[in-house]
């Protein structure tokens, strides 16, 4: 009897010990992951280049990011005589509480009024960052929660860190102004090629509208490649991409690593098959104003209807805007 009792006690202790060891291992692993995430959070947070952007307007449904492409000429590519920085790409990314995310381009030549003066929307950046956000909110009717300004020159380093990105264009191009040399079709582009791809407009039959579409494609390709399993499983590539990305981006005063990650996921969703992409609606793409030049006259009422539906997640997936409708009719 004593031996049987002793054996029973020995058998009952071993499972508890194994369970205790597994629990200890799990706690150690969880702690290690928490420390890694905390370290990555602090590293990203400390490297964010942030400044005052937001005017503090009332919220609207959904969460929206103003994504700006600053075509800063830093000697990388392009021989069209342009110097300094230009806000040539203006995108509004919207993630509703439910429903498809959207990515909509605002033509850089869109006519806006600041005070008593008329000007193209990309010129508002020279007045102030906050004024630019206000104008975007005015033409869309959508509250902007965050801003991300991407330097296209800096994207060259991001693309190279990823080992290239796949881009597609249906025309053969040899454009002297941008440096873009392209054989019709899809190719894996390096940093220089992706930069020229995003800058070319003079050889594009759709001009700035075509360039905006290609710039959306470049950023979408970067997002998709960066989030791929082959990139995430390669620590060296992930680290190099993160460093290059943080050097290329400037954000608003309320952006955190979390909101930046949410933006990336929303962008990927918007540019996928279940998202909404396109450009604003306009009434006249060659509207002339003395002292301003040829502008894009927007259809404000229709754009407010569009963004109200996008913010509520009620718009079906697909391509929207005047250019999209014109292409569908051809």
Digit-coded pLDDT (tens) for 139-180: 999 999 999 998 877 888 999 999 999 999 999 999 998 899
Q: In whole angstroms, what is the distance from residue 282 CA to residue 151 CA?
A: 27
Residue 21's pLDDT is 62
pTM score of the predicted model: 0.81
Average pLDDT, the chain: 85
Lowest model confidence (mean pLDDT) among 67-76, 192-201, 272-281: 67-76
Class of residue 114 by CB neighbours under 10 A (exposed 0-12, middle 13-18, buried 19+): middle
Give backbone dihedrals phi and psi of 90, rounded to 5 degrees, phi first. Answer: -130, 110
Residue 58 pLDDT exceeds 90 = yes
| 3-class SS string, 18-41 | HHHHHHHHHHHHHHHHHHHHHHHH
- Coil vs helix vs strand at 233: coil
Class of residue 306 by CB neighbours under 10 A (exposed 0-12, middle 13-18, buried 19+): buried
Angle between helices 235-248 and 152-162 (to 10 degrees): 180
Class of residue 287 by CB neighbours under 10 A (exposed 0-12, middle 13-18, buried 19+): middle
- Coil vs helix vs strand at 307: helix
CA angle, 20 then 25 then 30, to 5°? 125
Do 264 and 227 meet the contact criterion of CB atoms below 8 Å apart? yes
Residue 22's pLDDT is 63
């Amino acid at each position: 009897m004593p031996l049987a009792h002793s054996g029973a006690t020995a058998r009952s202790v071993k499972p508890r010990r194994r369970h205790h060891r597994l629990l200890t291992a799990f706690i150690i692993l969880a702690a290690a992951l928490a420390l890694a995430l905390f370290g990555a959070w602090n590293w990203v947070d400390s490297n964010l280049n942030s400044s005052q952007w937001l005017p503090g307007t009332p919220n609207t449904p959904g969460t929206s990011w103003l994504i700006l492409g600053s075509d800063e000429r830093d000697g990388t590519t392009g021989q069209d005589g342009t110097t300094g920085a230009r806000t040539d790409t203006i995108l509004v990314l919207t993630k509703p509480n439910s429903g498809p995310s959207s990515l909509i381009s605002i033509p850089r030549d869109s006519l806006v009024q600041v005070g008593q003066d008329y000007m193209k929307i990309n010129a508002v950046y020279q007045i102030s960052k906050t004024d630019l956000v206000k104008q975007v909110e005015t033409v869309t009717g959508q509250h902007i929660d965050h801003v991300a300004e991407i330097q296209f020159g800096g994207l060259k380093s991001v693309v190279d860190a990823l080992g290239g990105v796949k881009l597609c264009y249906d025309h053969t191009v040899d454009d002297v102004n941008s440096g873009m040399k392209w054989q019709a079709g899809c190719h894996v582009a390096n940093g220089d090629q992706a930069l020229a791809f995003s800058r070319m407009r003079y050889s594009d039959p759709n001009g700035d509208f075509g360039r905006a579409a290609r710039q959306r494609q470049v950023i979408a390709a970067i997002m998709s490649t960066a989030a791929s399993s082959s990139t995430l499983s390669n620590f060296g590539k992930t680290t190099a991409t993160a460093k290059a990305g943080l050097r290329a981006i400037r954000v608003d005063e309320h952006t955190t690593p979390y909101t930046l990650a949410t933006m990336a996921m929303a962008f990927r969703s918007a540019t996928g098959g279940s998202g909404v992409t396109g450009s604003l609606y306009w009434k006249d793409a060659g509207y002339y104003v003395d002292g301003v030049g040829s502008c894009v006259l927007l259809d404000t009422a229709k754009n407010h209807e569009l963004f109200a539906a996008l913010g509520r997640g009620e718009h079906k997936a697909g391509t929207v805007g005047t250019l999209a409708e014109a292409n569908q009719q051809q």
